[in-house]
């Protein structure tokens, strides 16, 4: 990326002054190496988002940012409904509420190494994964609507987990304001047989070991120590979320409001106070609840699989956080607190210490921020930093970010070779698709360590622990 258009405000903060149609500046948090490696399209999309009505503060991009649909992936923007603010389906993305949840196992590395191959096979047999994967759960029309209303709370009532899980999930497992009637019949049809499935792409269930701790006090608050084995689940709202995005992007393009001149039709949006905007928010919140319920069911399946191999293991939840959402939140802007609609697309909520919405046991440490790797690369657990609300409305990165397209990854690697190379490093991959493995090859992504370092140096989050993969069930 050409840096001439930016003013460097710090070693890890780059500001694009508001020019032309831009209503606010653009801000990218990254090291020089990371921002120089970004596609020029990222800067263009950051500027385009900055031109939308009612945007507050700045249009932000995280250190893992790359070109996306309308918004950059890794983009954050907040809008004020009382100032003509809008909601954009492209600013949430197609995989609504895709996110990560991490579970404790109570096991150490030596416990798992002796049974790793068997555990990999049992998890693969129990966890439906891949394109078009379906689960054992079949929802009726009424059951599906109940799930869209209730999220993980619905799943717990149906026997998939316990009340203790809900305290460790964003929104306590259920976002308010979901409107199943705003979700199309096609979206519901796509989801009816997909609950409790990983899907494809970069989704996975991974067994990991804590190989390094960087903040002992926060790690202790999170119940983590070197050598601990954890399980992380990365997935979202499956076909339902994708269809919601497709449906409403089409409708927003057709119903483009007068007076809003879009620099890119992929930024199709609707005023937050309009009927279309309200219907999209209701459908999107139903999508969030779908993803939370889906990860809750997958947690139940993972617990059953571990019980087959380690009968006394219970897998309590550490935390669950989403990274494709639009959330209604209170934030300080200047000297006042305002109710804003914060779009986080490929960005994770990262509330700092003392935030009232955090579970009591994390209030002093800050919110766990779960950063996914890609099979052979490390994952990370961070904590929301003090002051991050002023920097990016309480947001941080969500992963490494792609360094190349899936097409290019397929050209460079064969899935069978990737599986064999990782096995030689002690990482067992189980997947229904060698093509999918090749598309998600570790080197197809940026250096997640560099991304995490930039997030910490920019004051977005604090490094807590680095996790090494042991077993990965890949979609």
Residues with a catalytic annotation lie at 398
Distance CA 251, CA 268 (A): 9
The C-alpha angle with vertex 237 and arms to 342 and 437, in degrees rounded to 5, equals 110
- From the centroid of its chain, how far is CA 426? 27
Encoding tokens for residue 159?
Answer: 């026997």
Distance CA 400, CA 379 (A): 9
Residue 221: enclosing H or E segment and its boundaries? helix 216-222
The C-alpha angle with vertex 235 and arms to 234 and 237, in degrees rounded to 5, equals 160
| CA dihedral of residues 468, 470, 473, 475 (deg, nearest 10) | 30
Nearest CA-CA partner of 145 in 173, 98, 187: 187
Contact call for residues 350 and 461 (beta carbons, < 8 A): yes
Question: How many other CB atoms sit within 10 Å of the CB of residue 266?
Answer: 17
| 111: phi then psi, degrees, rounded to nearest 5 | -65, -40
Contact call for residues 474 and 129 (beta carbons, < 8 A): yes
Beta bridge partners of 60: 27, 76
């Amino acid at each position: 990326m050409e840096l001439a258009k930016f003013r460097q405000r710090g070693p890890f903060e780059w500001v694009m002054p508001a020019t032309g149609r831009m209503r606010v500046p653009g801000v990218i948090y990254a090291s020089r190496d990371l921002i120089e490696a970004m596609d020029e399209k990222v800067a263009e999309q950051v500027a385009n988002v900055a031109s939308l009505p009612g945007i507050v503060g700045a249009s932000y991009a995280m250190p893992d940012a790359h070109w996306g649909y309308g918004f950059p992936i890794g983009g954050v923007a907040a809008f004020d409904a009382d100032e003509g603010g809008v909601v954009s389906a492209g600013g949430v993305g197609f995989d609504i509420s895709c996110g990560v949840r991490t579970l404790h196992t109570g096991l150490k590395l030596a416990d798992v190494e002796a049974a790793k191959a068997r555990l990999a096979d049992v998890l693969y047999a129990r966890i439906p994964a891949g394109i078009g994967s379906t689960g054992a759960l079949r929802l009726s029309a009424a059951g599906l609507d109940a799930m869209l209303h209730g999220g993980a709370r619905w799943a717990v009532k149906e026997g998939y987990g316990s009340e203790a899980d809900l305290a460790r999930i964003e929104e306590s497992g259920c976002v308010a304001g979901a409107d199943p009637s705003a979700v199309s019949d096609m979206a519901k049809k796509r989801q009816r047989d997909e609950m409790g499935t990983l899907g494809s792409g970069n989704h996975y269930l991974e067994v990991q070991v804590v190989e390094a701790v960087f903040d002992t006090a926060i790690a202790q608050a999170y119940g983590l120590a070197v050598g601990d084995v954890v399980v992380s689940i990365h997935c979202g709202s499956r076909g339902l979320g994708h269809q919601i995005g497709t449906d409403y992007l089409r409708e927003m393009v057709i119903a483009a409001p007068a007076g809003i001149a879009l620099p890119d039709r992929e930024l199709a949006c609707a005023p937050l106070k309009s009927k279309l905007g309200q219907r999209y928010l209701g459908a999107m919140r139903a999508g969030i609840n779908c993803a939370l319920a889906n990860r809750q069911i997958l947690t139940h399946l993972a617990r059953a699989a571990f019980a087959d191999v380690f009968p006394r293991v219970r897998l309590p939840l550490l935390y669950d956080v989403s990274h494709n959402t639009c959330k209604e939140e209170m934030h300080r802007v200047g000297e006042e607190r305002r109710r804003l609609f914060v779009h986080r697309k490929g960005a994770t909520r990262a509330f700092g210490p003392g935030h009232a919405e955090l579970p009591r046991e994390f209030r002093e440490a800050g919110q766990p921020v779960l950063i996914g790797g890609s099979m052979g690369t490390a994952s990370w657990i961070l904590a929301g930093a003090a002051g991050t609300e002023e920097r990016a409305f309480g947001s941080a990165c969500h992963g490494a970010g792609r360094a190349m397209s899936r097409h290019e990854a397929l050209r460079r690697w064969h899935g069978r070779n990737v599986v064999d190379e990782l096995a030689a490093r002690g990482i067992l991959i189980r997947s229904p698709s060698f093509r999918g493995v090749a598309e998600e090859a570790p080197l197809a992504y940026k250096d997640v360590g560099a991304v995490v370092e930039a997030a910490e140096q920019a004051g977005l989050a604090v490094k807590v622990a680095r996790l090494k993969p042991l077993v990965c069930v890949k979609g």
